[in-house]
Amino acid sequence: MSFVFYDTETTGTNTAFDQILQFGAILTDDQLQELERFEIRCRLSPDIIASPAAMRVTGVTIEQLTDPTLPSHYQMVKVIREKLRNWSPSIFIGHNSLNFDEHLLRQAFYKTLHPPYLTNTNGNGRHDSLRMIQAVSLFAPESLVIPKKQNGRQVFKLDQLAPENGFAHENAHDAMADVEATIYMCRLIAEKSPNLWADFIHLAQKANVSEYIHSEDIFCLTDFYYGKHYSWLVTAIEHNPNNGAEILAFDLTNDPAELKRLSDEDLSKKLASPPRIVRRIRLNAGPIMRSYDNAPAKLCEKYQGLEVLEERAAFIKQDPDFQQRLITVYLDGLKSREPSPHVEDQIYDGFTSNSDHTLLAHFHKLDWKDRPDVLKSLTDQRLVLLGRRLIYSEAPELLSATASRNYEVAIANRLMAEPGTVPWLTLPQALKDVVKLLDNASGKEAELLHGHYDWLVKKTDWATAIL
């Protein structure tokens, strides 16, 4: 199967409210040999402020952000989607993509009225080179050089990993350069630890993950938090009834027979207390799983021996009523997510209906003058609101003077909100940030930041005049 390695450069780190500025991707064959590459940039959207700190890191000037010859965000996303669909089915891989780039890409599709789940549907799979490298550091530590901080803690940032392992990464934080570095690191894994690489790629497919979990009564589950690895010996309970892309697993350090004797109240307290007895496995996010025989020896020493583990796993498997009780009590104890008032943050509040999908596919083929009529037929009000924003940013000449004025006021209010009162970066906060950065800047960095400062002041003057 082919691979798509990709990376994004963005206005900031808030995946719901920031914007992709640059997208780079390389298509490879199953031997990781390049077949095709693709790169595109866009200009800044009118309702988004680029983080001065992020621009300092990536070296993006205000002239690049506002270059009128670059495509708009909507135009860029349409091209990205078409390219990735042409490259599908593939396995999509980025560095820290499952926690960052993947969400940004989904948000970009969602905000531009495209189906958001491209990388894990229609035969596609996904994984993350960061998680792969972290797993290699645990299961095959001799395969890669992992840099360390002065306190001895391992560092998994690509701009430090790649050079330590022999890759010239002078253009770190450029999307295409980071894609090249990611491919280089994956080739090293495939060369020096081929069995692990094969496992990673096999489990990049949702169906394979589900099959593995149900075929192994006992297996090692590994995850990573703040660069540190944690492993457990678990057995599957069942699918999460609220999320078909998750399977719940039981940590076999615990005796299920003792838990069964507890009241629902006491069981709930037990399940809510660390260390977690029930763990969630995301089927479409490349979970790190290995057989009991391939689990770390130190981990197995913490458990009570294979015979006890087999007895506990059998107890779970043979008692469907207790499985259901575990699932119900566990899910009842989870905190429900508070609904967001902001449409950008409502992407997971429901799936788009088939009828709306059909309308939106038609929407993207029409002249802009005909698109407002399509929005009137949509049943999903999130999409109606996002569609109206697109009309304003892509074809403002279609709006009446009153409607255009209302959008300008809405954008001005959005950008001038008091810092801390909204989840996105505002003009007052950005100005504070850039002034602080300028205190310690010099040379080209100071020149870049001064350019952003001047633009932020002008944007503030515009918003103030509108209001």
Whichever domain contains 31, its CATH number is: 3.30.420.10
Instruction: List Cβ<8 Å contacts ≥24 apart for 438-444.
Output: 441/56
For residue 349, being part of any structural domain is answered with: no
Domain annotation covers residue 357: no
Domain holding 444, by residue range, is: 363-466
- Domain contains 208: no
Return the pLDDT at 228.
86
**Cα–Cα distance measured from residue 248 to residue 239, given in angstroms and rounded to the nearest whole number:** 6
pLDDT score, position 335? 81
Domain contains 340: no
Residue 285, domain CATH: 3.30.1520.20
Radius of gyration of the chain (CA): 25
Numbers of helices and strands, H then E, in the chain:
20, 10
Give the model's pLDDT for residue 372: 96
Are 157 and 228 found together in one domain?
no
CB 183, CB 15: distance < 8 Å: no
Residue 209 lies in a domain: no
Residues 320, 279: one domain? Answer: yes
Same domain? For 96 and 167 the reply is yes
Q: What is the total residue count of the chain?
A: 467
List the structure tokens of 11. Answer: 């206005």
Could you tell me which residues come within 8 angstroms of residue 330 by beta carbon, excluding any fewer than 6 positions away?
248, 271, 278
Final residue before a domain boundary, out of 151, 166, 196: 196
Sequence letter at residue 266: D
Going by the DSSP 8-state scheme, the letter that residue 116 receives in this structure is S
Exposed/middle/buried for residue 268 (C-beta within 10 Å: 0-12, 13-18, 19+): middle
Are residues 414 and 456 located together in one domain of the fold? yes
Please tell me the distance from the alpha carbon of residue 297 to that of residue 290, in angstroms, as a whole number: 13
Indicate if 147 and 11 belong to the same structural domain. yes
Residue 353 within any structural domain of the chain:
no
Distance (Å, whole) CA 415 – CA 423: 11
- Phi first, then psi: give them for residue 355, nearest 5 degrees: -65, -40
Of 178, 139, 175, 174, nearest to 161 by C-alpha is: 178
State the residue for tokens 């709930």. Answer: 268
- 179 and 282 in a single domain? The answer is no
pLDDT value at residue 301:
83
Asked if 158 and 229 sit in the same domain, the reply is no
In a domain, 46, yes or no: yes
Domain count, the chain: 3
Q: Which of 17-43 are b and which e, b meaning 16 or more Cβ less than 10 Å from the residue's Cβ?
A: bbbbbbbbbbbbeeebeeeeebebbbb
Is the same domain home to 276 and 153? no
Is residue 356, in this structure, part of any structural domain at all? Answer: no
Q: Are residues 7 and 76 in the same domain?
A: yes
CA distance 193 to 215: 24
User: Within this chain, do residues 152 and 260 fall inside the same structural domain, yes or no?
Assistant: no
Identify whether residues 230 and 259 lie together within a single domain.
yes
Run means of pLDDT, 10 residues per run, the chain, 467 residues: 97 97 98 98 97 96 97 98 98 97 98 96 96 96 94 93 91 90 98 97 96 95 89 95 94 96 96 94 96 88 89 96 96 88 95 96 96 96 96 95 95 96 98 96 96 98 96
Our measurement of the distance from residue 453's CA atom to the centroid of its chain's CA atoms, rounded to an integer in Å, reads: 30
**Pure H helices in 165-240:** 175-192, 194-202, 206-215
Residues 19 and 167 in one domain: yes
Q: Which residue from 9, 5, 8, 80 is spatially nearest to 36, judged by alpha carbons?
A: 5
